[in-house]
A and B are shown apart, each in its own frame.
Chain A
Amino acid sequence: MNSRQAAYPYLMWTVVFIAVPLGLIMYFAFTDMQGSLSMQNLVQAGRYSSVFVKSIWLAAISTVLCLVIGYPMAYLMSRMKGVGSRTLLMLLMLPMWMNFLLRTYAWMTLLENNGVINNILSFIGLGHLQMINTQGAVVLGMIYNYIPFMILPLHSVMVKIQNDVIEAAQDLGAGPGEVFTKIVFPLSKPGIKTGVMMVFVPAVSTFIISQMLGGGHNQLIGDIIEMQFLGNAYNPNLGSAISLVLMLLVLMCMSVSGFLDDEGVEERLL
């Protein structure tokens, strides 16, 4: 038996379930409902450029905030030993087992006009805030849902930074700022790349968070795609064209960040 053959079922699988579906998106994007060649869909997709810009903008803000909030957390976790670090890691993973829609729904309960936070605010006499159905709420939802995907790759890179290296730098007279800029930050760069990708991609294409926390007037590109396939505006050809543009934009963002060109992607993903 040739052991290469062990991969053949999977080879066929990738062709049928990965390559063909991608080909179908291309086919639908460049044809009209009758199946004849057409550029109409891509032209129409251009009409949503403001939604594209808004989606990328909100996803970028969320990604940066996830990095800013998650970086210290990952660092602190990586410097703990034994039980402490394991417990924290466990506490970080546990929410992922609760349904992601339910957690977002719970934020609705918190942010509503008659919600928990507003009740507390008015109870202590601070009045009332409009929180739900704002862009801020969408960004909050993205940060909440995707921050574990920032912390986990950062953590897995940072645990490999030995304390000896940091102590050596300190012995050589580096202050806390210098230890960060010269040791910790450069060594954690692969984790940053992975984390940024793992947060940005789902954030830019979400349609649930924007529907639940953003109300009707905060539509993102994911909402538009969903509407073309399962919503009122049924038009899979236009939906495919928008998906194709989104896919190309994401690929572009990733090649700019240098994610695709170095080795050992799998080591950074896991």
Chain B
Amino acid sequence: MKWYSKTYIGVFLAFLYLPIMILIIFSFNDTKGRTFTGFTTKWFVQLFSDAAVMDALWTTIVVALVSSVIATVMGTAAAFGLEKMDAKLKSVVMNLTYVPIINPEIITGVSFMLLFVTAKKWFATMGIDFQFGWTTLILAHITFNVPYIILNVLPKLRQLDHSLVEAAMDLGCNPLQAFLKVTIHEIRPGIMAGFLMALTFSMDDFVVSYFTTGAKHQTLSVMIYAMTKKRVSPEINALSTMIFIAVLAVLVIVNLLERRNEKKLKQVSLKGKDGAAQ
């Protein structure tokens, strides 16, 4: 690669990582201010005894996991059903599916808020107390997560070899068994990719959570937003430093495993070729 291409990539990465470096450096800052005064690890210790931060972290993780799992099950079933549906109905449903993706997030957020406020009033007339909190957060997150599952699974279903499914049915499977024993294994990469996307978007979401969260439970993003009005506690910096290191470690390991697999595949295919030549 030419020197100017390398420089371009270097400058771009520096721009991308500059604020992250600042974040990490300030997680070791002795004082709460935004000037660096000395090295300390006390924020990492304090972090674990801060009930509010731990509660927010817990809320974020539970909402992300629960909503992604429900979205994955419902989305996979939906993609499967959509494949068999007549074109007209399918296109109506697909257009609705795109809404959470192409609509500005703030509008998704406020529209949920209107829905839940209306539901709250409606439930109140029946004597049921409906509060903003876990339920509203999870319902909202499922809604913006499902489209990513459907969009990841549909292409895999289209590539599916239908003779495999038919073979399973000939061997005595009913459609549900055929789906569980054959189809789901064939489309697994799509399901996994969709699940990971949903998890990522759910963990990082601020806007929709901001409009659907209750007074009791906040996600990390909503908590950080309240802090940015004054000063963000260095504990949060410490938390992100740890998240950064954890995600980096996972990515490096995945990358190394993939590399090893590729090498193995290459060796196998080379051997195969040699064998054929002999």
Contact = CB atoms under 8 A, between A and B. Distances in A.
13 contacts: A1-B176, A24-B115, A72-B8, A87-B255, A97-B244, A100-B206, A103-B20, A106-B20, A109-B19, A109-B22, A116-B22, A205-B107, A250-B103
Contact of A246 (B102, B104, B143, B193): B104
A25 B22 contact: no
A107 B228 contact: no
Given A4-B84, A24-B111, A243-B106, A102 B155 contact: no
Contacts of A256: none
Which of B74, B107, B206, B236: most chain A Cβ within 10 A? B107
A121 interface: no
A98 B193 CA distance: 20
B228 A7 contact: no
Nearest to A259: B102
B167 interface: no
A26 B2 CA distance: 55
A187 interface: no
Nearest to A117: B18
Contacts of B19: 103-104, 106-107, 109-110, 144
Nearest to A101: B224
A7 B77 CA distance: 6
Contact of A207 (B98, B106, B151, B232): B106
Interface stretch (B9-17, B41-49, B123-131, B269-277): B9-17
Contacts of B62: none
Nearest to A3: B84
B61 interface: no
B76 to A, nearest CB: 9
Interface string A1-24: 101111111110110011111101
A201 interface: yes
Interface string B210-238: 11000000001100110010001000110
Interface residues of A, number: 86
A240 B174 contact: no
Interface string A91-118: 1111111111111111111101011100
B204 interface: yes
Nearest to B176: A1
A83 interface: yes
B159 interface: no
Contact of B107 (A7, A247, A270): A247
Contact of A17 (B143, B150, B151, B243): B143
A106 B21 CA distance: 9
Given A13-B146, A20-B115, A76-B5, A102 B74 contact: no
B37 interface: no
A101 B225 contact: yes
Contact of A114 (B35, B107, B151, B200): B35
A254 interface: yes
Contacts of A19: 96
A265 to B, nearest CB: 7
Contact of B102 (A73, A97, A201): A201
A33 interface: no
A265 B151 CA distance: 9
A102 B115 contact: no
Nearest to A116: B22
Contact of B20 (A25, A92, A98, A267): A98
